Amino acid sequence: MRKLILSLCVFVIGLSAGAETITIGISQIVDHPALNAVRDGVLDELSDAGYVEGENLRVLLGNAQGDFSVGMSIAQNFQAQRVDIMVSIATPTSQAAVQVFGGTDTPVVFSAVTDPEAAGLLGEGNVSGVSDLIDVRADLELLAELSPDIERVGMVYNPGEANSAVLTDIAREVALELGLELVVASAENSAAVPSAAQSLLGRVDAFYVTTDNTVVSALEAVVDVANRAGVPFLMADPTSLDRGPTLCTGLDYYNHGRMTGAVVLQVLGGVSPADIPVERQGTMELWLNLDAAEQIGFEFPESILEQATGVLVDGEQTLLDN
C-alpha cells in the first residue's frame, strides 16, 4: 500500500509539472564544438529530468556570432518573450544576460565563464552558474615538458573578451615564473585571427590558445601557421582536437553542460540562484593528436604519453587506460 501511495504521489507530481510549459532561453557567443557541447549537455540534463521540448519545455536558442551587441539583442528578445530562465553560454553572452536580466525576477544561469567575478556577473540575487576556469600554469608547464627547445610561446587572443584577458594576464605571470617568453598577438574579431597568427610565424617555439571564443571560432588559421612553422600547438579545449592542434587540455564541455543543467533544475525546483554557489568543473583532460604531431615531425616524450587521457590516430579518438 505504501508503494502504491508513493507511486500515486510521483504520478500526481509528474502531472502537475507537465501541466505548465517552461520557457528557457539559451544564448551562446559563437558556434563552436565546446559551446555546442555545453548546450547539448544542458538540454540532455533537462530531458533526463522529464523536461521534454514540445511537451512541457520550450527552448529559445540564440547565437551572437561573436558580437556582444547581438548578445544584448538576444537577451532583450528573450526578455520580451518572457522566458522563465535565461541560460548564457560563455562570458560575453553572460555579461549581456546579466545586463538585461540582472535584478529582475528571471533567473540567469551562466556556463563556460572563466572568471564570473572579474566579468561582473556576481552580486545579483538572480544569477548563478558554472565556471570553466582552466589551469594555465599546468598548460605552460606541459609545454615546457614537451621539449627543452620551447622557450618562446605564442598566444593569439581577443583583449575584448574578459575571459581571455584574464587568462592572458595569468599566462604572462606564469610564463615569467617558468622562465618562458610569452609573445602575444591580439585579434579583436575572428577575421583578424589569421593575420594575428601570421605575425607570430618564426618568432615562437610553440603556440598556446586558451578558451578564447574569438580565436576558437577561427582556430584553423592558428593551426595552419603552427604547422607551417613546424611547432607544437596546445589548445585548451579537448573538443577542438580534430581541428588540428598538436595537443589539447581542459574540460569535458558536455559534462560542463550537464553540471549547468543541474543548476537549472535546482532553480526550477524553487531554489533561489542566490543560494546556489558558483561551481567549477575541476577535472582536466589531456588529449594528444598523433596525426598532427606526425605532420610536423614531432614525437611526444614518454612522460607526456603517460599523462594522456586519450589520443587521436588516423582520425579516430581513443581513450587510454593510463
Instruction: Give tens-digit pLDDT for 118-164.
Output: 999 998 999 999 999 999 999 999 999 999 999 999 999 999 999 99
At 17, the pLDDT band (50, 70, 90 cuts) reads very low
Whether 218 contacts 192, CB under 8 Å: no
b/e map of 87-126 (b: 16 or more CB within 10 Å)?
bbbbbbbbbbbbebbbeeebbbbbbbbbbbeebbbeebeb
Q: Could you tell me the residue range of the domain that residue 84 belongs to?
A: 2-132+252-280
At 9, the pLDDT band (50, 70, 90 cuts) reads very low
Shared-domain flag, residues 98 and 168: no
Shared-domain flag, residues 98 and 76: yes
Span 286-308, average pLDDT: 97
Residue 16, pLDDT above cutoff 60: no
Q: Name the domain count of the chain.
A: 2
Instruction: Name the more confident of 32 and 12.
Output: 32
At 20, the pLDDT band (50, 70, 90 cuts) reads confident
Residue 2, pLDDT above cutoff 60: no
Shared-domain flag, residues 264 and 167: no
Shared-domain flag, residues 21 and 85: yes
Residue 88, pLDDT above cutoff 80: yes
Which pLDDT value is given to residue 282? 76
At 106, the pLDDT band (50, 70, 90 cuts) reads very high
Residue 170, pLDDT above cutoff 60: yes
Which pLDDT value is given to residue 48? 98
Whether 84 contacts 110, CB under 8 Å: no
CA dihedral 80, 84, 88, 93 (to 10 degrees): 20
Q: DSSP readout, 191-229?
A: GGHHHHHHTTTTT-SEEEE-S-HHHHTTHHHHHHHHHHH
Shared-domain flag, residues 175 and 302: yes
Which pLDDT value is given to residue 1? 36
Q: Which are the contacts of 112, defined by CB distance < 8 A and separation ≥ 6?
A: 34, 35, 38, 89, 90, 91, 130, 132, 211, 253, 256
Shared-domain flag, residues 244 and 268: no
Whether 54 contacts 21, CB under 8 Å: no
Residue 66, C-alpha cell as written in the block: 561573436
Whether 77 contacts 62, CB under 8 Å: yes
Shared-domain flag, residues 11 and 24: yes
Which pLDDT value is given to residue 321? 82
Which pLDDT value is given to residue 3? 35
Nearest-angstrom CA–CA distance, 230 and 275: 50
Which pLDDT value is given to residue 283? 81
At 322, the pLDDT band (50, 70, 90 cuts) reads low
Span 305-313, average pLDDT: 97
Which pLDDT value is given to residue 157? 98
Residue 172, pLDDT above cutoff 50: yes
Which pLDDT value is given to residue 194? 98
Q: Please give the C-alpha separations between residue 274 and each of 5, 97, 123, 246, 265, in angstroms, as whole numbers.
A: 35, 16, 9, 41, 14
| CATH code for position 238 | 3.40.50.2300
Residue 178, pLDDT above cutoff 70: yes
Which pLDDT value is given to residue 6? 31
Shared-domain flag, residues 225 and 177: yes
Shared-domain flag, residues 290 and 165: yes
Span 50-67, average pLDDT: 96
Number of H helices, E strands in the chain: 12, 14
E strand or H helix that includes residue 127: strand 127-131
Shared-domain flag, residues 314 and 191: yes
Shared-domain flag, residues 155 and 269: no
Which pLDDT value is given to residue 301? 97
Shared-domain flag, residues 164 and 289: yes
Span 57-83, average pLDDT: 97
